[in-house]
Amino acid sequence: MRGFVLNIKKAKNEDIIVTVLDNNTLSNYWRFFGARHSILQIGNLIDFEVSESKNNFMPNMRSLSHLSFSWIFSNNHLLIWQNFIKLFEAHLKDTIEIDNFYFNLLLEIAKKWDKQNPKRLAVEAYISLLSHEGRLYDNGFCYVCEEVLDKEVGLMRAFLPTHPACIYAHSLDKEEIFKLFNTQSTIHLNDATIEQLYLILLKGL
Ligand SMILES: [Zn+2]
C-alpha cells in the first residue's frame, strides 16, 4: 500500500492509529509501537503492508518505509505541507468511494513543493479540487446577498465570492480572482494576494 499520512492519533501505550489516503480509500490502521516510528508523521508518503487483526478490530500496518521528498528537511515547506494535507481528512472522511484525483493531486504537488512558493501550489491545487468537485462559484453574484458583484470581492470558505462588506472580508480584485478560477494558475497574483487566499484555504476545503 502506498499513501499519505493525513492524521495520527494516540491509541494505548505507544500504539497509534494512522489515517492514510491511498489511491482509492481513506483508511485507519493500527500500528504497534508507532510512537517510536519517526516515519509516521503527518504529511509523509509511506509504503506499507497490511495485515488483518485477529479480532477484526482494525487492520495493522507493518513493513513501513518512507518515500521522502527533498524538501522534507525545510521546516517552512514541511509546516505548510502538513497544514494543507491535514485539511483532507475532514474533507474526505464521510466519502465512501474516493476517486484517485485526491491522491494524484497531492503526489503531483509534493514533487514540486520546493520549486516555487508552496502556498501558490496549495492555492492552485485547491482551485483544481473545487473545479473537480463542481464547486467553483464564478457567476458574478454575491454568495450572501445575491446582488451583482463590484470590482472588489471578498472570499468566503470554499472561495465563494461576496461583496467584501457582506462578510467583512479583505478586498480582492474580482478580475484577478475570476482569472484564477478560469486558468487554475496564480501566475498573475502577487504574494500578498496568495497569502490572503492561503489563509482562506486553511478554514477548510
Ligand atoms: Zn453581498
Q: What is the pLDDT of residues 184-199, one digit of tens each?
A: 999 999 999 999 999 9
How far is Cα 57 from Cα 184, in angstroms, rounded to an integer? Answer: 42
16 assigned to some structural domain: yes
For residue 93, the CA-to-ligand 1 centroid distance in Å is 32
For residue 164, the CA-to-ligand 1 centroid distance in Å is 7
For residue 166, the CA-to-ligand 1 centroid distance in Å is 5
Does 120 lie in the same domain as 62?
no
What are the backbone angles phi and psi of residue 136, rounded to the nearest 5°? -75, 120
For residue 120, the CA-to-ligand 1 centroid distance in Å is 27
Mean pLDDT of 14-21: 94
106-129 confidence digits (pLDDT tens): 999 999 999 989 999 999 999 999
Does 136 lie in the same domain as 63?
no
Average pLDDT, the chain: 94
pLDDT at 56: 66
How far is Cα 120 from Cα 187, in angstroms, rounded to an integer? Answer: 9
For residue 183, the CA-to-ligand 1 centroid distance in Å is 25
37 assigned to some structural domain: yes
Residue 134, domain extent: 116-201
For residue 165, the CA-to-ligand 1 centroid distance in Å is 7
Does 196 lie in the same domain as 130?
yes
How far is Cα 110 from Cα 102, in angstroms, rounded to an integer? Answer: 12
The pTM of this model reads 0.93
